[in-house]
């Protein structure tokens, strides 16, 4: 297993689904982990469940679409745990609909959470990493950011933008010992996907060559590697984890 003893990790949107698995994986590797939340009750219940497994993951209220809130969150994490070594930009939302019916509100909401958050959080973290000479930034995108998806013009645009952010920032900070990578999951067996009617879910699975959904733990394992010293030569890359559903 990756050894992240003594490293401080901030994972956005980490109290459910893929984000929760990433938090747990990093904590198991020895990192001091923090995440943000919007729903306090849900976050505290998750934190208590994680504590029962022996891990103390810090939670902070912060809206990633708010620049000042992200600045305050980063400062609090540094104050409580120490300088941030690892950032996983995982927070994201969907507001699906065909483009001809898409409202400006739906477009803006997705862009604020999925794209603006990249700047809002990373801006307050990357300088500290560069000064230290070591850092890992991982951006969680989507298969649909690579291939497009009907009814998701806003979401697909936001997830495609994420890798543009990755490639550009990676070039700026590579000499500082900071790597920046993208992970693009396919269909993962999260609560949201498992809530889809079984017949529709089976059609999705039929289109995946490995003939199953992925797991959050598989995504978390890749993120764990990208956070390691062994991944120091890996930057600006987009890792597709989709069971072969979309090959590039």
pLDDT value at position 196? 83
Domain boundaries, the chain: 8-241
Distance, in Å, from the CA atom of 44 to the CA atom of 162, rounded to the nearest integer, reads 29
Radius of gyration of the chain (CA): 17
* pLDDT at res. 90: 97
Is the separation of the CB atoms in 228 and 85 below 8 Å?
A: no
CATH number of 8-241: 3.40.50.720
Per-residue confidence (pLDDT) for residue 1, from 0 to 100? 59
Q: Report pLDDT for 142.
A: 96
Going by their DSSP bridges, the two strands 178-185 and 86-89 should be labelled as unpaired
Active site residue 155: yes
Residue 198's pLDDT is what? 93
- Residue whose entry in the numeric block shows the structure tokens 């001091």: 32
Cα–Cα distance for residue pair 90/60, rounded to 1 Å: 15
Regarding pTM above 0.85, the answer is: yes
Mean pLDDT per 10-residue section of the chain, whose length is 248 residues: 91 96 97 95 94 96 97 98 98 95 97 98 98 98 94 97 98 98 96 87 95 97 98 98 94
Q: Look up residue 225 and give its two tokens.
A: 């590697």
Q: What's the pLDDT at 184?
A: 98
C-alpha count within 13 angstroms, C-beta hemisphere, residue 70 = 24
Residue 229 is classified by DSSP as: G
Catalytic residue among 60, 67, 155, 187: 155
pLDDT at 164: 98
Q: For the beta carbon of residue 26, count every other beta carbon within 10 angstroms.
A: 28
């Amino acid at each position: 297993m990756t050894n992240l003893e003594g490293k401080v990790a901030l994972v956005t949107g980490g109290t459910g689904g893929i984000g929760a698995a990433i938090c747990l994986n990093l904590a198991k590797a020895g990192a001091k982990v923090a995440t943000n939340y919007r729903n306090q009750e849900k976050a505290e219940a998750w934190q208590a469940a994680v504590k029962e497994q022996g891990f103390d993951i810090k939670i902070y209220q912060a809206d990633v679409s708010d620049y000042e809130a992200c600045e305050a969150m980063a400062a609090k994490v540094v104050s409580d745990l120490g300088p941030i070594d690892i950032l996983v930009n995982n927070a994201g939302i969907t507001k699906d609909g065909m483009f001809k019916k898409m409202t400006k509100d739906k477009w803006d909401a997705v862009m604020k959470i999925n794209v603006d958050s990249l700047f809002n959080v990373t801006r307050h973290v990357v300088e500290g990493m560069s000064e230290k000479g070591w850092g890992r930034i991982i951006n969680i995108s989507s298969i649909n950011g690579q291939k497009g998806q009907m009814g998701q013009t806003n979401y697909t645009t936001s997830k495609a933008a994420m890798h543009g952010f990755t490639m550009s920032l990676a070039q700026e900070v590579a000499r500082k010992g900071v790597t920046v990578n993208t992970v693009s999951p396919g269909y993962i067996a999260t609560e949201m996907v498992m809530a889809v009617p079984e017949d529709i879910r089976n059609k999705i699975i039929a289109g995946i060559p490995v003939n199953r959904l992925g797991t959050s733990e598989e995504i978390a394992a890749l993120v764990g590697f990208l956070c390691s010293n062994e991944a120091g030569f890996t930057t600006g890359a987009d890792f597709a984890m989709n069971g072969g559903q979309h090959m590039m």
